[in-house]
Amino acid sequence: MENRPVNKNKTPKIVIFGAGNIGRSFIAPVFTRGGFEAVFADVAPGILAALKERNHYTLVEKTDAGDTIHQVSPVRAVDARDAEAVARELDGAEICATCVGAGALPIVLKSIAAAVTSRKRPLDIILAENLKGAADLAKGVFEEAGIPASEQKERIGIIETSIGKMVPIMPVEVAAEDPLLSWAEPFNTLIVDRDGFTGRVPEIPDFMAVSPIAPWVARKLYIHNFGHAAAAYIGYAHKPEALYIWEVLENRVVAEDVEKAMQLSAAALHREYPGVFNADDIKAHVADLIFRFRNRALGDTVYRVGRDLPRKLQRRDRVVGALELVRKHGLDTGAALEVFQSALEFQAPGPDGNPDEKDREIVRAAHSG
C-alpha cells in the first residue's frame, strides 16, 4: 500500500499500549514528531497520574558528546483496565501499538479485539515487541475473540516490526524524580511491515515501511543482536574484569574480532537476501552499530548483554543462527565460531557478584564431555 499523508485537518491519534521504555523513548516520539497525539494505555499509577497532570514529558538523548533534551507532546493516558475508556480511544485512533512484553501481550490483544468488534473501520496494530511469533499470537487471540482468520485482513492490520532502539539504563534515583523522564540513544528509525497495513501507511519522519519484513528482522537478529552478544562474549574472554560493553570494545583485539564476526554475518545476510541489502550499506550498518555499542551513556554491562545463554544459544537465535547462515553460504566460519566458543566460557558476574546460574549450567555442560 502506498504512503499517503495523514489528514491535516485533524490531529491523528495513536494509542500506545505500554508506557515503558520503548513506548516513551521510541514509539511516542516517532509519532508525535510526525504530527500525532499519543495516548498511552497503561496501569502504572505514577505514569497515569503524571500524564493526567501534563500533556508532555522530557526525553533525553544521551551520547558521549553530551545530552540533547526534547519535549514529547501532545501525550495523555488512559487506564488500560478501563475497557470502555480504552475502546473509546481506539475508536477514534488512526493506529495503535503494543510495547508491553510477552507476558502482557495476550491480555492487551484481547482488549484490542473487544474494541475492534465494535469499530466501524479497520484498525492497524504495530507490534513493537521483542517476541518471535508475535503476529501469529495476535492472529490466534483475535480468532478466539470472534474475528475469523478470513475476516482479519479486512478488519485488522497486524504489523510486525524490527526494533533496533537501545535504551540507556537510568539510575533508580533519577527515575524517582520524574516517572515520565525518558532516556534514549539518538537512533529513531522504526522499521515496520508495509504488507501488514490495512489503512494508510503513516508518512512521517523516522518511519520506514519495508516489504517483506523478514530480511529486516533477520538483520536485527543476526547483525545487531549477534554483534552485541559477540561484544559480551569475546569481551569477557579477553577482559573478564571489565564491567561495560564500551569498556571491552576499547580493547583493540576485541573490537577487531567483534567487527569481523559482524561483517561475516552481514556478508551471509547479503547473500541470503541479495535483492534487499546493498553490500556497502550493510557494511556501513555494522560500523554504525559498533559506534553505538561504544556509547558509554548506554550503560550496557557485559553481564546484561551476554546473560541468558539457554535462550541466546538456541539454534535459531543470534549466535547459532548467524553461524548456520554463514555456513549455509559457504563462508569461512572462523569469526562466528569464536563468538560461539566464547559464549561457552561466559561467566560474567551479575550485580550480586555471581554469574547467572542457568549460564553456569550451560558452561558446565559444555565442559563435561
pLDDT per position as a tens digit, 180-190 = 999 999 999 99
Strand-pair category, 66-72 with 13-17: unpaired
Angle at 54 between CA 52 and CA 57, to 5 degrees: 115
Q: Which residues of the chain form CATH 1.10.1040.10?
A: 215-368
Could you say which of 1.10.287.90, 3.40.50.720, 3.30.420.40, 3.40.50.150 is the CATH number of the domain covering 3-210?
3.40.50.720
Q: Which residues of the chain form CATH 3.40.50.720?
A: 3-210
Say if residues 25 and 182 touch (Cβ distance below 8 Å). Answer: yes
Q: Which residue's entry shows cell 534514549?
A: 184
Backbone φ and ψ for 244, nearest 5 degrees, come out as -110, 155
Mean pLDDT of 161-168: 95
pLDDT per position as a tens digit, 217-267 = 999 999 999 999 999 999 999 999 999 999 999 999 999 999 999 999 999
Where b means 16+ CB within 10 Å and e means fewer, 170-183 reads beeeeeeeebbbbb
Higher per-residue pLDDT: 117 or 63: 63
Copy the grid coordinates of residue 349. Answer: 558476574
- pTM attached to this predicted model: 0.92
Copy the grid coordinates of residue 239. Answer: 577482559
What is the average pLDDT score of the chain? 95
Which class for 366: exposed (0-12), middle (13-18), buried (19 or more C-beta within 10 A)? Answer: middle
Cite the beta strand spans of 106-244 per DSSP E: 123-127, 156-162, 182-184, 190-193, 201-202, 207-210
Does residue 300 carry a pLDDT above 50?
A: yes
Count of alpha carbons within 13 angstroms of residue 137, beta-carbon side? 20
CATH code of the domain occupying 215-368: 1.10.1040.10
Mean pLDDT of 131-137: 91
Q: What pLDDT, on a 0 to 100 scale, did the predictor assign at position 5?
A: 39
pLDDT per position as a tens digit, 90-133 = 999 999 999 999 999 999 999 999 999 888 899 999 999 988 88
d(CA 77, CA 42): 7
Copy the grid coordinates of residue 122. Answer: 479497520
